[in-house]
Chain A
Amino acid sequence: MSEVAEVRGNRVALEGNEAVAEAMRQINPDVVAAYPITPSTEIVQTFAQFVADGEVDTNFVAVESEHSAMSACLAAAVAGGRVMNATSANGLALMWEILYIVSSLRQPVILTVVNRALSGNINIHCDHSDTMGARDAGWVQLYAEDVQEAYDNLIQAVCIGENMDVRLPVMSCLDGFILSHSYELLTVEPDEEVQEFVGPYKPDNPMLDIENPKTFGPLDLYDYYFEHKRSQMEAYPAAKQAIIDEGKRFGEAFGREYGLLEEFMLDDAEFAVVAMGSTCGMIRDVVEDLREKGVKAGMLKLRAFRPFPAEEVAAALDGCGAIAVLDRAASFGAHAGPLYAEVTSALYSYGKQIPVNNYIYGLGGREILPDHLQQVYGDLQQLADAGQPAEPVSFLGLRE
C-alpha cells in the first residue's frame, strides 16, 4: 500500500484523482506515457511519485504532447506491454488521431479521462463534451458515479480490455472536479487481491516476438480495409459481455457488483430519468424524495456508453410512461444531445413507443441542483399526457 492508504487502512478518504492513481499503482502497468492537463494532472503526478519512489516497476515516459503520449502508449502496447495513461478535454482531443489507431490495432490501452469541457472558450470544468466527441473512436467507455466507482472501474477496465475476445482500449471516465478533486470515503482493496484480480498481462501478437515477425498497421485500401473494420465491429458485443462478466467477478471478489447499467427504483416506475456520471447520485436523492410523495419515479444510470447497451436500455425502460434523458454535452447540429439520440434510437429499434424529453445541462461545470431534477420529473407528467416532447431540447440551469 502507498503511504496514504497504509496510514488510514482499507477505508480511506481520497480524491478521485488519488484513488485512480492508487488503482494504477496496484495494477503496476509496464508503461505509462503521459502529458499533464487539468483536471487529470494529479493522477499522473501522483503516479510519477510512485515511480520515483520505486513502488511500481513502470517505465514512465514524459512526453511533449498528448499526441506523443498516445503514440508512445500505442507503441508500447504493440510491443507487448500493459499500458495506462490519463488525460482530459483538449488533451484527449490532441490524441484523436491515435485513439482510432489504438482501437483499430486492437490494443488494450487503458486511459482514465477526467471529463472536462472542450474549448472554446477555454474552460477547465466538467462536462462530457470530450468523451462524447470520442464516442466513435472505437474505445470502450465506462462512466463513474462516484470515487469508489472510478477506482473500481479502472481495475475492471484492465480486465475488460485485455479479455482475449475483446482486445480493445478502454476509457474509464470520471467527472472533472466533481469527482476528481472531491474527497470521498472509499474502500481501497489490498494490493495482492487487486493484482490477483487483474492477473498478469497476456500479450496478443506482440511486436517484440522476433521469432514470429509480423506487419503492423500497413497500407490498407479498398481491398481489405472494409473486412478489417467489420472484424473490429465483432469486438463490441464481446466487450459488452466482458463488462457484465468482469462486473460480476468484481462483485464476487470485493462485494461491489457492476453491470452495463444500473436500474434505480425502475421496476414499477412511471417516470424515468436516464443519466451518466456523478449526477446520478443526486438523482437517487430526488427519486427517493418523489417516492415519499407518492410519485413513481425511477432512474436508469448508464455505466457503459460504448459499447452502447441498446437492447438492455430498451428493456429497462419498458413500461415507463415518460422518460427524460440528461445530456452533459451538446452535439452541435444534431437535433438533440448524444445520449438522447442513443436512447431514443434504442427504444425505436426495440419497438418501445415511449415519449422522451431531452435536457442539456451542466456545460462547462454549470451546477445542477435538486430543483432542476424536480422540474425534470415534473415535466414528465405533461410529456406522458401530450405523447411527444413540446421542445426538442430543453436546458437546465441556463439563464433564459
Chain B
Amino acid sequence: MSKVYPPDAKWYEMARGGIIPQAGNAAEYSVGGWRNEHPVRDDECCIDCLFCWVYCPDEAVRVKDESVKYQGFSPDHCKGCHICAHVCPKDCITMVPGPDFQPDEPGQSEEE
C-alpha cells in the first residue's frame, strides 16, 4: 500500500518537515492538470527511436516491449511541455490545443 498522503490528508496526519516516508513516488502524483496542450503522435511516421521517451521530463511517454508505437501518452503525467514534439527526428509529434487526449486521436490507448 502506498504511504503517499491522499489529497484529503489533514495537516496533523503528515510526517514532519514535509517528508514523504517513501522513495520514488513521482508516478503516484498527477500533474495532468497543468496541461493546456497535448501531444499527438503519427504512429505510421514513428521510427521507434524512443527519443520522446528518453527526453520526457516526467513519465508521460508509455513504452512496451521497447516500443512507443501505439502506446500513447499518460494523461496523469503529460504537462504539455512540447519536449517530445521538439526532439522527434521525424516530426511525428504535433501539439494540439486543449488539455484532453481524445480516444479517436492516433496513438491513444486506454491502457495506463
Contacts and interface: CB of A to CB of B under 8 A. Distances in A.
B103 interface: no
Interface in A333-373: none
Q: What 5 A-B pairs come out closest when comparing CB atoms?
A: A213-B23, A227-B11, A106-B17, A215-B20, A230-B11
B4 to A, nearest CB: 9
24 contacts: A104-B17, A105-B18, A106-B16, A106-B17, A107-B17, A167-B16, A167-B17, A205-B15, A205-B17, A205-B19, A212-B21, A214-B15, A214-B23, A215-B19, A218-B18, A218-B20, A220-B18, A227-B9, A227-B10, A228-B11, A228-B14, A228-B18, A230-B11, A231-B14
Contacts of A167: 16-17
Contacts of B9: 224, 227
A196 interface: no
Nearest to A167: B16
Contact of A223 (B7, B10, B22): B7
Interface of A: 104-107, 167, 204-205, 212-218, 220, 223-228, 230-231, 234-235
Contacts of A224: 5, 9, 14, 18
A105 B5 contact: no
Which residue, B10, B17, B19, B20, has most C-beta atoms of chain A within 10 A?
Answer: B17
Contacts of B16: 106, 167, 204-205, 231, 235
Given A223-B7, A224-B5, A213 B22 contact: yes
A215 B25 contact: yes
Interface string B1-36: 000010101111011111111111100000000000
A214 B18 CA distance: 11
A220 to B, nearest CB: 6
B22 A215 contact: yes
Given A214-B21, A218-B20, 5 more contacts: A106-B17, A107-B17, A215-B25, A217-B18, A231-B16
Contacts of B7: 223
Nearest to A233: B11
A220 B25 CA distance: 13
Contacts, number: 60
Contacts of A234: 12
Contact of A214 (B12, B14, B22): B22
A104 B20 contact: no
B23 A215 contact: yes
B17 A105 contact: yes
A104 B18 contact: yes
A224 B7 CA distance: 8
Contacts of B19: 105, 205, 214-216
Contacts of A223: 7
B32 to A, nearest CB: 13
B14 to A, nearest CB: 6
Nearest to A225: B18
A106 B19 CA distance: 10
A104 B16 CA distance: 9
Contacts of B22: 213-215
Contacts of A204: 16
Given A218-B20, A220-B18, A224-B5, A231 B11 contact: yes
Nearest to A219: B29
Contacts of B21: 205, 212, 214
A148 B109 CA distance: 72
A107 B19 CA distance: 12
A283 to B, nearest CB: 39
A230 B25 CA distance: 23
Contacts of B17: 104-107, 167, 205, 216, 228
A231 B12 contact: yes
Contacts of B10: 227
Nearest to B5: A224
Nearest to A103: B17
B9 to A, nearest CB: 7
Contacts of A212: 21
Contacts of A105: 17-19
